Amino acid sequence: MKIGIDALAFDVAKIHLPIKTLATARNIDPEKLEKGLGLLQMTLPDIHQDTVVFGANALTKLIRDNNLILAEIARIYVGTESAIDGSKPISSFLIALMEQQFGENSLSECDVVDFTFACIGGVDAMQNCIDFVQLHPTKKAIVVTTDFAKYDLNSTGEYTQGAGAVALVIASNPRIIAFDTHWGVSTKGVFDFFKPYRTLSKKEITGNENNEPWFDNLESEIEIHKDQPVFDGQYSNQCYMDRTKAAYFSFRKLKNTTETIYDFWESIVMHLPYAFQGRRMLSEIYALDAQNTIISGDETPAEYQNKLKDISKSEAYRSFVTQKLQPAEIASSLIGNLYTGSIFMGLLSTLAHFYDNEIEISSKKFGFLAYGSGSKSKVFEGTIQPDWKLALSNIHLFETLNESSAIDFETYEKLHKKEQKISVRAPKNEWILDRIEQENPVLAGARYYKWVE
């Protein structure tokens, strides 16, 4: 029995900052970002948007566009690293909003939960749902990945920001792609990128020596949380390479083959913190798994790195990138990093590229290299199904991205600092964050959403 992705939908922030605008403001050569990293635009949330909004919009489209029967949906699992509450999962918000749209108690028997493991949380959710459908083939499961990547102003991650969600249906006899049962995994507990809870002395905030109550905080230390991560870019890249390489060769071992795995993949879809990350990270696997291995293993560390650099600049590797990696990069260049949604947007970008160019890919294999900081990688593969074009016919990915509105640098900084008070682009036919409860003590902080026609 085949299990895989039957339908896809997405929602991406509708405003963006051109990378050239950011580069000019930060005194960075635009070509370094555009041609070096493949960045053209970065999307960011408007003031009425958060991860619930993006997830709810993608999920609403998924249900409507595919005429889903809600009684067949057994679970809605969310992958995210942008939680808005320390206890209540985003998935519970999504259930409430879907019942507003499609009927009270229409999803009351649906299981929901959030998965968090940096950028790989959505893949974890999908693998869990695949196992579930394998046991219950008449049921369907939905995975929603929703995030916004926000970095400190003037940081080295600032130009990789992005915001949006991807939702997918996992079902038996899928229309788009059926996954193989082998999953290569590599995990280590490291601090390459994380979002810690931090503390400040109450005295630093109030200037008061005594531990007097401050907005109902009785503790002498105030715990704060930032959306922006703590990260070491160079170390994070190395962890990405190490985990992905280990998971790839674990996958090859599970396949019980000595052949070059990637030769069998029509396209390779990777987690892309920025558009060209995959091509930069994959050269080592490309070299080590070549039929006539390009690297002998006898090199010194310096020689090894020089060989990798030479390989990444070779005509053969550039051709490999164009054929197998470039289709997944197109959307990333226009959106930025979607964290958990990045790999699924890469899949959607690849499918939309083949669809728009009328290239038939039925029966072709796709390889997936997922990564999440902290850190873990999973490598798996799937086969494109005969009805993939039918499932893609109403998505219009690139047409939608072309409708995004550019903003200026001043507006960008106001949004980043949460100084903007009016939506940049008026919402239409979408969910919005309506209000956050401030007065009722037993509902303080509760977030309320509504649909805007």
Give the model confidence (pLDDT) of 260-288 as tens digits.
999 999 999 999 999 999 999 999 999 99
The dihedral region occupied by 294, where left means phi > 0, alpha psi between -120 and 50, and beta the remainder, is alpha
Q: Which residues contact 447 (CB under 8 A, 6 or more apart)?
A: 50, 52, 84, 93, 433, 435, 436, 437
Is residue 290 over pLDDT 90?
no
* Burial grade of 210 (CB within 10 A; 0-12, 13-18, 19 or more): exposed
Which pair of structure tokens corresponds to residue 216? 């109902």
Per residue in 221-248, is it b (16+ CB within 10 Å) or e — as a string?
ebeeeeebbebeeeebeebbbbbbbbbb
Give the pLDDT confidence score for residue 303 in this predicted structure.
87
* Burial grade of 143 (CB within 10 A; 0-12, 13-18, 19 or more): buried
Q: What are the pLDDT digits (tens) for 18-29? A: 999 999 999 999
Contacts 24+ apart (CB under 8 A), 439-448: 445/85, 447/50, 447/52, 447/84, 447/93
Nearest to 166 by CA among 237, 319, 272, 304: 272
Q: What are the pLDDT digits (tens) for 323-364? A: 999 999 999 999 999 999 999 999 999 999 999 999 999 999
Q: Is this model's pTM higher than 0.85 or not?
A: yes
DSSP string, 404-422: PEE--HHHHHHHHTT---S
Give the phi and the psi of residue 382 in degrees, each rounded to 5: -150, 165
Helices 326-335 and 315-324: angle between axes, nearest 10 degrees: 70
Instruction: Give how far Cα 82 sits from Cα of 122, 133, 392, Å.
Output: 12, 27, 28
Give the pLDDT confidence score for residue 298 in this predicted structure.
79
Question: What confidence tier does 424 reach under pLDDT thresholds 50, 70, 90?
Answer: very high
Q: Could you identify the residue written with the tokens 């790989």?
A: 120
Q: What are the pLDDT digits (tens) for 199-225? A: 999 889 888 888 988 888 889 999 988
Least confident of 212-221, 403-412, 415-424, 435-444: 212-221
Distance from C-alpha of 128 to C-alpha of 126, rounded to nearest angstrom = 5
Give all strands (DSSP E) within 297-446, no chain letters. 365-372, 376-384, 405-406, 430-436
Indicate the residue type of 196: P
What domains can you pick out in the chain, each with its CATH number? 3-192+232-282+325-452 (3.40.47.10), 195-225 (no CATH)
Which pair of structure tokens corresponds to residue 63? 């249900």
Give me the mean pLDDT over the 295-319 stretch: 88
Give the pLDDT confidence score for residue 296 in this predicted structure.
74
Strand 3-12 relative to strand 177-179, pairing: antiparallel
Hey, how many other C-beta atoms are within 10 angstroms of the C-beta on 297?
Answer: 7
Element counts in the chain: helices (H) and strands (E): 16, 19
Give me the mean pLDDT over the 420-437 stretch: 97
Question: What confidence tier does 132 reach under pLDDT thresholds 50, 70, 90?
Answer: very high
Indicate the residue type of 42: M
Is residue 136 over pLDDT 90?
yes
Hey, how many other C-beta atoms are within 10 angstroms of the C-beta on 206?
Answer: 13
Give me the mean pLDDT over the 243-272 stretch: 97
Give the pLDDT confidence score for residue 291 in this predicted structure.
75
Q: Contact, 225 vs 360, CB < 8 A?
A: no
Query: Average per-residue pLDDT in the chain?
Result: 96
Per residue in 348-382, is it b (16+ CB within 10 Å) or e — as a string?
bbbbbbbbeeeeebeebbbbbbbbbbbbbbbbbbb
Helix (H, G, I), strand (E, B) or coil at 144: strand
Which pair of structure tokens corresponds to residue 34? 């555009």
Give the pLDDT confidence score for residue 406 in this predicted structure.
98
The dihedral region occupied by 318, where left means phi > 0, alpha psi between -120 and 50, and beta the remainder, is alpha
Distance of CA 91 to the CA centre of its chain: 16
Give the pLDDT confidence score for residue 81 in this predicted structure.
98
Nearest to 282 by CA among 298, 297, 271: 271
Question: What confidence tier does 393 reach under pLDDT thresholds 50, 70, 90?
Answer: very high
Give the pLDDT confidence score for residue 241 in this predicted structure.
96
Distance of CA 101 to the CA centre of its chain: 26
Which pair of structure tokens corresponds to residue 113? 């939960």
Is residue 438 over pLDDT 90?
yes
Give the pLDDT confidence score for residue 431 in this predicted structure.
98
Is residue 247 over pLDDT 90?
yes
The dihedral region occupied by 238, where left means phi > 0, alpha psi between -120 and 50, and beta the remainder, is alpha
Nearest to 52 by CA among 441, 430, 453: 430
Give me the mean pLDDT over the 163-191 stretch: 98
